[in-house]
Structure 1
Amino acid sequence: MNIQAFKENLGVSDLPEALEKLIQFQNEHSGFEEYAQGFGVLIDDKSGIKSWSEDEAFLERVHPFAQANGSGSIYALWDKDASGNLDGLPVVVFGDEGGVHVVASNILELMQMLLFDSEISVDFDEVYFYKDEDDYEESEGHATFKDWLKKEFNLDPVEDPDTLVQEAEEKYKENFDRWFEQYYAD
């Protein structure tokens, strides 16, 4: 994936360092959905999130950047203060069958969650990670991803990514929900 095209698609001149390095990792060491189950950075035209709202004020503050699971849920950065600076923004998931949730306080937290190597489950009321240890098969490039994250960002796997989701929700859910409801009503 071309990083310049990715930036142009998001309408920014700079990406958070972690996101730019993740794109480089995906380009050079692995492939889409090969290093974390269901996940891949992609260029998104916002057509998927337009099902929630086509209001320009909404679309200007939500920046889709990755597929969250194999069924089509999307991760996006939420520009919580309309600064236009994507660094340090919370990550939101838009579920393919509904449900919108804050899942990480920033890109680095999301990358740490990806070390769990399980797709995120998204429904209307909750979001969670689940791994059936008896049926689990590690993603092809996961070991390389794990080593890379340790080297680049000193990140270790988390036993339970849902704890990071809960922490992010505690920080941002109330404000996100209040902002989001002006564009989307159930």
Structure 2
Amino acid sequence: MAIKQDLIEHLQGLELPQHFVPLLHFDAEIAQDDFFSEGFHFSLDKEKFGLKTYSEDEAFLTSIYEFANADGTGSSYGFWLIDGNRHLQIAPIVTFGSEGGFHVVASNFDELLQILSFDSEPMIDWDEVCYYKSPDDHEPSVKSKEYRDWLKRECGLEPIENADDIVNRAQQKYKDAFNTWVANFYQV
């Protein structure tokens, strides 16, 4: 429960996405210590150590708000506040890889919720991000079914069977702008 309060305090002053707090409740009350989507779990790096490996510029650090781990190795999901936008419902979702690479994965928080229903952690490198799971040997996360049911019932969003469409749309819309913006702070 502490992470829930810490995240809400961290995001204070920003307009939270409609389904953000309900997802925190789902995670705390139903998923508890079990994963509902592979690799995803709420986290907060108040010191922004991961982001600081890219840049310590204040304009960079105050435009990315990380809120969750994306995989088991320290990759993260964050909101990208474009041009000072304070409304997180429409902020694109970006991911930063633990071993490098940064990409837009969703145009907004609801799209990330749908990606999480795919139940696969992102594979992130410098060139691309993708979500893959083998149909033959993928073991669903312990609370995956509960999450998919919750997503439909509470959010009115359909679970997905492939994350490519969402990621590709977000990339078409934001990839160039995000890469250009990051290049102001970090040179590969």
TM-score (norm 2): 0.93
Q: Secondary structure at the match of 1:114?
A: helix
Matched, 1:140 2:142: yes
Q: Could you tell me how far apart the structure 2 residues matched to 1:152 and 1:102 are?
A: 25
Alignment of 1:4-153 (within 5 A): 4-12=5-13, 14-31=15-32, 34-45=35-46, 46-153=48-155
Q: Could you tell me how far apart the structure 2 residues matched to 1:35 and 1:118 are?
A: 10
**Which structure 1 segments of 5+ residues have no match?**
none
1:178, distance to aligned residue in structure 2 (A): 1.2
Q: What do you get for the CA RMSD once the two structures are aligned?
A: 1.4
TM-score (norm 1): 0.94
AA aligned to 2:176 is E
Query: Are the aligned partners of 2:114 and 2:160 in contact in 1 as well (CA < 8 Å)?
Result: yes
Query: Are the aligned partners of 1:101 and 1:127 in contact in 2 as well (CA < 8 Å)?
Result: yes
Query: Are the aligned partners of 1:39 and 1:119 in contact in 2 as well (CA < 8 Å)?
Result: yes
Aligned residues: 186
1:32, distance to aligned residue in structure 2 (A): 5.2
1:26, distance to aligned residue in structure 2 (A): 0.5
The percent identity for this pair of structures is 43
The answer to which of 25-34 and 11-20 deviates more is: 11-20
Q: Out of 177, 180, 183, which is 1:181 matched to?
A: 183
Structure 1 outlier segments of 4+, above 4 Å? none
